[in-house]
């Protein structure tokens, strides 16, 4: 997906000469920045998220509505309070609402001041201080009439914005539903760490980040500021302090804000800066906007520190920590090339405006009430205290970004502790019976409405301790499953300490040590903008940021202590993982039901042992030992009846079961979903070059609620017939793609007309007209990989799915109905053999296209056809196994562009009447799957060389065909019995180009007799020469669709059966 998106963005011109590999800044004073944004909307196919203060440019809204109408999921975070100041906003919101686009509104504090769009499929976030107005993205007259804005198109920061958008979308305290929001608020993206350079008020203070930078700029340093609104005294105080120590300061402001009587604070603070320029001569210089338009930018440069602050926050109280904002400060991750890119490109635009050095000679800025000063310089020394050569010669040098944590020790394993088994000291902590908790019990600290304890106590009166085994110098990601009493955020946190944890691999510096006030804090609500507490949920020791890993200086037994931070929490599971859960939580943040198997790793019971009950299971490694480890075993191939055996590992019993091997004739079924019969309007056929056969079935995402259980009488569904054997276990796999790669779009229900509960059962299951179903969910369990492109899944969520059984052999029908909208399906596999324990392809980014069949993965030469949704079997002879004088010829009018021809050598007809040759020299053969006791009408599309009736006939035989009684062999290979095929329908009827004719139906109005097969499964057809000169491109066996009518015309036909 990344490769595709990169190509698309280059085509859109988003990466011009002044952009690095992932980023672009668009200068709205001279460039059209609206077109690339509209292009991003028009080229998105997976999902768009929008944060908006107000709409004034209908072009953006129209493009979003068009995207929604073509099936792109869209979410909008907005603020209807803008309607008072911007009356046209209401009409645009109504238009978005009428299109069915989900919108949530900010209801707390000050406004939603976001101005951004996230493009999930293209991996880009567009973001700046620019409102979605006609003048913010495009100059009315370049360099002369414009709004000062620089529009940021970022790929590097998009994952952080995705996570933050999900945090806001699921926040029910500060945001409420406005329109079209589904009942359940879900996160659409993986939860990624927020880039530490980003700043998101109100959860982060803008001024707490800005003012220290002003104060750190050294004497002889240099600060530039381009700011729209400046009503807050705090940053101006800091600038005046900087001027007093000799820092050069240049301010680019807007005269309209100075004159804005509704915000008199602008004039107050600007006048203070003018006074400071007089008090500290040679330090402060102010210029005002001279061009027509508006200076709406919010950027500050700290030249000695080489840091830039850019985003949506004004220098106002509301923008500090009371309204929703988005900013970046490049004061973190020194040495990252993104910092230099942003600093240099933003400064290039500022410097041009400051000096009026544009190419058209326009006056963009003018001096205002302060002396014009020489341009500041930094001398020849590096003055950035973050640089490695601080105080040395320019340029400043920086260390590379910190390396990723070292890989875990390969023998280190995940530790799972059940908190209720901890040793309790004191009276505050209790054991609470809880059927939803691991082991049926949880650790509880009852809510007494006590004050929060922060920091931790060095000597708490009540606590819980647990011992566990972990390895030295190995990073462990620690997760705790918590539940807050009454789902109250004041009851949702704990302190955890250790007897010997350290801060890093090889370090001796203690971390969160017992007996101190330091701790790892675990808070269920992940940051102030995190989702509300609902039921059980997993959290780590990173509050709205990346967690710190836990290290130990020695391998062996360690102790952790849980003590109160807030009363009211329940704890049931604690996980320290160097592997499985190193990057992702064991389960969701809310409404979790994940119970992990307890890891008994403190070896209190002695050395683990492994025993097995039957000889067909063999332990191959680590059957004894201490500490954590792996027990490996192999299972012999089963050639007889179903069987079970058990493994006993440290007192835990693992049952191993093997089904009996499938009977002869039971083979894999591969169906193409796009050939299904569709009922209702929700399901559609979707053209898709990456899908099997070039198309798939899709249920477009309308952000509807999940349907669970299945519906007994759905309004829309798809059905496919197929042939399968009774009493045989079929493992069923579906290849799915989730619209927008969203976990809310990745599942379907499947039912059957006649499935039963087991190989010898008559109990119906997953039946039509019931709410029972097999559920296929692309994300395989709560910790499974998130959807990415096509992927295979079965009816087991996080485990291997149960086999599907049918009571009798023959034709069966499956039904697919909605579980979540947004699901796309292209292939369905039922396998008793090849794919019984392993999927046909990958769970993500899969490219596997299996050949379509009616019940086999192959089985002999001459494949090239398969079953259809109607049960038809279609064969293309150009793929056949050939003997004698048959050749493949290219033909643009033939199915697949080729046909099989027996060249015209003017040979005599092989035999008159119905006598075929038992051992012919010239023939071709193909294999296919068919159902027993099913009447198939056999049609062949042929073409006679030179349109001559003397070149138009053949004999057809089979290895398993029978008469209608189901017993008597007929048309058998190796005999002279055959079904006769003649393209000319009657004497003197004539032939012309391609035409359809059935087998055995010679004579006008005469229909051929159906073909039957004795057993279900693989069949073989042989076509031998009756007259040379015949070409064949399609053979169709039809039990329903063409049982009484031809697939096409007898002459001049153009039908390619699908």
pLDDT in tens, 793-850: 999 887 788 899 998 888 899 999 999 999 999 999 998 888 888 899 889 988 888 8
The stretch 216-239 carries a mean pLDDT of 95
Integer Cα distance of 35 and 151 in angstroms: 12
The stretch 470-497 carries a mean pLDDT of 92
Whether residue 161 sits in one domain with residue 221: no
Averaging pLDDT over each range in 331-340, 512-521, 539-548, which range is the top one?
A: 512-521
Q: What integer pLDDT is reported at residue 8 of this predicted model?
A: 26
Triad 153, 157, 163: Cα angle to 5°: 120
Q: How many domains does the chain have?
A: 6
Assign 127 to helix, strand or coil: strand
Whether residue 10 sits in one domain with residue 73: yes
Assess whether pLDDT exceeds 70 at residue 43: yes
Integer Cα distance of 817 and 775 in angstroms: 10
Q: Has residue 312 been placed in a domain?
A: yes
Domain assignment of residue 744, given as a range: 669-831
Q: Has residue 799 been placed in a domain?
A: yes
Q: Has residue 11 been placed in a domain?
A: yes
Assess whether pLDDT exceeds 90 at residue 855: no
Q: What integer pLDDT is reported at residue 106 of this predicted model?
A: 95
Q: Has residue 602 been placed in a domain?
A: no
Whether residue 248 sits in one domain with residue 118: no
Q: Has residue 385 been placed in a domain?
A: no
Q: Are strands 747-752 and 866-867 parallel, antiparallel or unpaired?
A: unpaired
Assess whether pLDDT exceeds 90 at residue 191: no
Residue among 463, 460, 454 at smallest CA distance from 419: 463
Whether residue 683 sits in one domain with residue 534: no
Percent of the chain with pLDDT over 70: 88
Mean residue pLDDT of the chain comes to: 86
**293 — pLDDT class (breaks 50, 70, 90):** very high
Q: What integer pLDDT is reported at residue 626 of this predicted model?
A: 37
Whether residue 430 sits in one domain with residue 341: no
CATH code (residue 779): 2.60.120.260
Whether residue 689 sits in one domain with residue 821: yes
Q: What integer pLDDT is reported at residue 837 of this predicted model?
A: 81
Picking from 257-266, 560-569, 929-938, which range would have the lowest pLDDT averaged per residue?
Answer: 929-938
Residue among 624, 577, 632, 633 at smallest CA distance from 409: 577
CATH code (residue 16): 3.30.870.10
Rg (CA), the chain: 36
Q: What integer pLDDT is reported at residue 852 of this predicted model?
A: 83
Q: Is pLDDT larger for residue 167 or for residue 625?
A: 167
The stretch 678-688 carries a mean pLDDT of 90
Whether residue 187 sits in one domain with residue 45: yes
Whether residue 170 sits in one domain with residue 43: yes
Which of 783, 805, 831 is the last residue before a domain boundary? 831
Q: What integer pLDDT is reported at residue 636 of this predicted model?
A: 58
Whether residue 151 sits in one domain with residue 50: yes
Q: Has residue 1047 been placed in a domain?
A: no
**How many CA atoms within 13 Å lie on the side-chain side of 836?**
16
What are the b/e assignments for 731-741, b being 16+ CB within 10 Å?
bbbbbbbbbbb
Residue among 952, 923, 939 at smallest CA distance from 865: 939
**1058 — pLDDT class (breaks 50, 70, 90):** confident
Q: What integer pLDDT is reported at residue 412 of this predicted model?
A: 81
User: What are the angstrom distances between the C-alpha of 646 and each of 129, 612, 653, 655, 837?
Assistant: 64, 6, 6, 4, 19
Integer Cα distance of 613 and 320 in angstroms: 68
Predicted confidence (pLDDT) per residue in 609-659, tens digit: 444 444 455 554 443 433 344 455 556 555 555 566 555 554 445 556 555
Q: Is pLDDT larger for residue 912 or for residue 863?
A: 912
Contact 354, 250 (CB under 8 A): yes
The stretch 98-112 carries a mean pLDDT of 94
Q: Has residue 410 been placed in a domain?
A: no
Contact 176, 102 (CB under 8 A): no
Whether residue 437 sits in one domain with residue 527: yes
- Residues forming beta bridges with residue 147, ordered by sequence position: 294
Picking from 39-53, 696-710, 776-790, which range would have the lowest pLDDT averaged per residue?
Answer: 776-790
User: What are the angstrom distances between the C-alpha of 827 and each of 398, 670, 791, 840, 949?
Assistant: 52, 7, 10, 10, 42
Whether residue 230 sits in one domain with residue 176: no
- Phi/psi at 753 (nearest 5 deg)? -75, -20
- What is the DSSP secondary structure assignment for residue 69, as one 8-state letter? H
User: In the structure encoding, which two tokens stand for residue 300, read together?
Assistant: 């500050």
Whether residue 985 sits in one domain with residue 1015: yes
Assess whether pLDDT exceeds 80 at residue 1037: yes
381-388's contacts with Cβ under 8 Å and 24+ in sequence apart are 383/218, 383/220, 383/221, 383/304, 383/305, 384/304, 384/305, 384/306, 385/216, 385/218, 385/305, 386/305, 386/306, 386/331, 386/334, 387/306, 387/334
Q: Has residue 738 been placed in a domain?
A: yes
**660 — pLDDT class (breaks 50, 70, 90):** low
- What is the DSSP secondary structure assignment for residue 433, as one 8-state letter? E
- Residues forming beta bridges with residue 81, ordered by sequence position: none
**564 — pLDDT class (breaks 50, 70, 90):** very high
Which of 560, 577, 594 is the last residue before a domain boundary? 577
């Amino acid at each position: 997906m990344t490769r595709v998106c990169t190509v698309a963005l280059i085509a859109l011109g988003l990466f011009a000469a002044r952009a690095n590999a992932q980023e672009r800044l668009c200068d709205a004073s001279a460039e059209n920045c609206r077109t690339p944004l509209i292009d991003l909307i028009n080229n998105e196919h997976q999902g768009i998220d929008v944060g908006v203060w107000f709409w004034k440019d209908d072009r953006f809204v129209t493009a979003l509505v068009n995207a929604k109408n073509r099936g792109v999921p869209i979410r909008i975070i907005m603020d209807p309070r803008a309607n008072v100041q911007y009356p046209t906003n209401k009409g645009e919101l109504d238009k978005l609402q009428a299109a069915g686009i989900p919108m949530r509104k900010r209801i707390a504090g000050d406004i939603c001041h976001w101005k951004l769009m996230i493009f999930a499929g293209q991996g880009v976030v567009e973001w700046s201080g620019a409102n979605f107005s006609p003048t913010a993205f495009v100059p009315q007259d370049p360099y002369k009439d414009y709004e000062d804005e620089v529009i940021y198109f970022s790929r590097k920061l998009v994952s952080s914005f995705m996570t933050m958008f999900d945090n806001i979308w699921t926040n029910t305290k500060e945001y409420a539903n406005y329109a079209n929001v589904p009942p359940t608020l879900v996160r659409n993206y993986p939860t990624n760490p927020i880039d530490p350079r980003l700043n998101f008020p109100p959860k982060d203070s803008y001024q707490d980040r800005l003012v220290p930078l002003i104060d750190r700029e050294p004497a002889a340093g240099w600060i530039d500021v381009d700011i729209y609104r400046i009503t807050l005294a705090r940053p101006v105080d800091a600038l005046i302090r900087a001027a007093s120590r000799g820092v050069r300061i240049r301010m680019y402001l807007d005269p309209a804000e100075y004159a804005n009587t509704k915000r008199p604070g602008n004039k107050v603070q600007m006048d203070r800066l003018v006074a400071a320029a007089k008090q500290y001569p040679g330090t402060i210089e102010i210029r005002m906007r001279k061009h027509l338009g508006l200076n709406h930018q919010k950027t500050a440069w700290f030249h000695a520190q080489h840091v830039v602050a850019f985003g949506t926050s004004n220098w106002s109280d509301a923008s500090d920590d009371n309204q929703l904002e988005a900013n970046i400060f490049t004061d973190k991750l020194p040495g990252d090339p993104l910092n230099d890119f942003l600093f240099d490109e933003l400064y290039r635009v500022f410097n041009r405006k400051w000096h009026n050095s544009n190419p058209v000679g326009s006056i963009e800025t003018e001096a205002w009430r302060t002396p014009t000063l020489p341009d500041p310089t930094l001398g020849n020394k590096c003055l950035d205290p973050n640089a490695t050569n601080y105080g040395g010669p320019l340029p400043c040098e920086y260390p590379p970004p910190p390396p990723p944590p070292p890989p875990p020790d390969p023998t280190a394993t995940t530790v799972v502790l059940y908190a209720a088994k901890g040793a309790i000291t004191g009276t505050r902590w209790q054991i609470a019976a809880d059927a939803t908790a691991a082991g049926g019990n949880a650790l509880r600290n009852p809510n007494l409405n006590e004050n929060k304890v922060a920091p931790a106590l060095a000597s708490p009166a009540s606590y819980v301790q647990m011992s566990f085994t972990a390895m030295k110098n190995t990073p462990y990601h620690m997760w705790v499953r918590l539940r807050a009493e009454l789902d109250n955020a004041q009851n949702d946190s704990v302190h955890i300490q250790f007897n010997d944890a350290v801060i890093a691999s090889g370090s001796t510096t203690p971390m969160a040590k017992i007996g101190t006030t330091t701790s790892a804090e675990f808070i269920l609500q992940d940051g102030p903008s995190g989702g509300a507490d609902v039921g059980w949920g997993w959290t780590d020791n990173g509050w709205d940021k990346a967690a710190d890993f836990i290290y130990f200086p020695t391998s062996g037994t360690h102790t952790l202590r849980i003590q109160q931070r807030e009363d009211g929490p329940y704890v049931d599971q604690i996980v320290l993982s160097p592997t499985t859960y190193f990057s992702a939580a064991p389960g969701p943040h809310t409404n979790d039901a994940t119970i992990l198997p307890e890891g008994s790793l403190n070896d209190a019971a002695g050395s683990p042992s492994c025993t097995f009950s039957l000889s067909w299971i063999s332990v191959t490694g680590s059957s004894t030992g201490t500490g954590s480890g792996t027990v490996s075993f192999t299972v012999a191939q089963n050639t007889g009846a179903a069987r079970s055996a058990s493994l006993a590992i440290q007192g835990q019993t693992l049952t191993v079961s093997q089904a009996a091997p499938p009977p002869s004739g039971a083979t894999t079924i591969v169906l193409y979903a796009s050939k299904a019969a569709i009922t209702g309007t929700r399901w559609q056929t979707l053209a898709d070059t990456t899908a099997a056969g070039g198309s798939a079935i899709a249920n477009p995402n309308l952000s509807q609620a999940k349907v669970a259980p299945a519906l007994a009488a759905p309004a829309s569904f798809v059905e496919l017939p197929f042939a399968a054997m009774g009493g045989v276990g079929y493992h069923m796999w579906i290849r799915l793609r989730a619209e927008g790669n969203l976990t809310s779009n990745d599942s379907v229900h499947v039912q059957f007309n006649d499935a039963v509960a087991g190989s010898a059962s008559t109990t119906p299951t997953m039946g039509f007209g019931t709410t029972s179903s097999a559920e296929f969910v692309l994300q395989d369990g709560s910790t499974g990989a998130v959807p990415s492109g096509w992927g295979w899944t079965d009816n087991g969520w996080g485990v291997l799915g149960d086999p599907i059984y049918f009571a009798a052999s023959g034709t069966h029908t499956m039904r697919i109905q909605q579980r979540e909208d947004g699901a796309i399906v292209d292939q369905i596999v039922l396998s008793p053999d090849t794919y019984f324990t392993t999927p046909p392809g990958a769970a993500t980014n899969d490219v596997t296209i299996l050949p379509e069949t009616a019940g086999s993965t192959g089985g002999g030469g001459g494949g090239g056809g398969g079953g259809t949704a109607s049960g038809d079997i279609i064969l293309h002879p150009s793929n056949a196994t050939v003997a004698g004088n048959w050749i493949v010829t290219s033909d643009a009018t033939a199915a697949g562009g080729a046909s099989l021809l027996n060249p015209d050598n003017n040979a005599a007809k092989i035999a008159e009447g119905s006598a075929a040759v038992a051992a012919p020299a010239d023939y071709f053969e193909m294999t296919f799957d068919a159902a027993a006791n099913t009447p198939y009408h056999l049609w062949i599309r042929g073409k006679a060389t030179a349109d001559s009736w003397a070149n138009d006939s053949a004999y057809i035989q089979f290895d398993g065909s029978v008469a209608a009684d189901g017993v008597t062999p007929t048309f058998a290979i190796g005999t002279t019995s055959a079904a006769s095929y003649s393209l000319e329908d009657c004497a003197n009827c004539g032939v012309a180009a391609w035409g359809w004719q059935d087998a055995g139906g010679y004579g006008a109005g005469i229909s051929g007799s159906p073909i039957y097969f004795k057993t279900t499964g693989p069949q073989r057809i042989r076509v031998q020469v009756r007259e040379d000169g015949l070409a064949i491109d399609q053979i169709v066996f039809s039990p329903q669709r063409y049982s009484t009518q031809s697939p096409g015309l007898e002459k001049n036909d153009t039908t390619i059966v699908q």
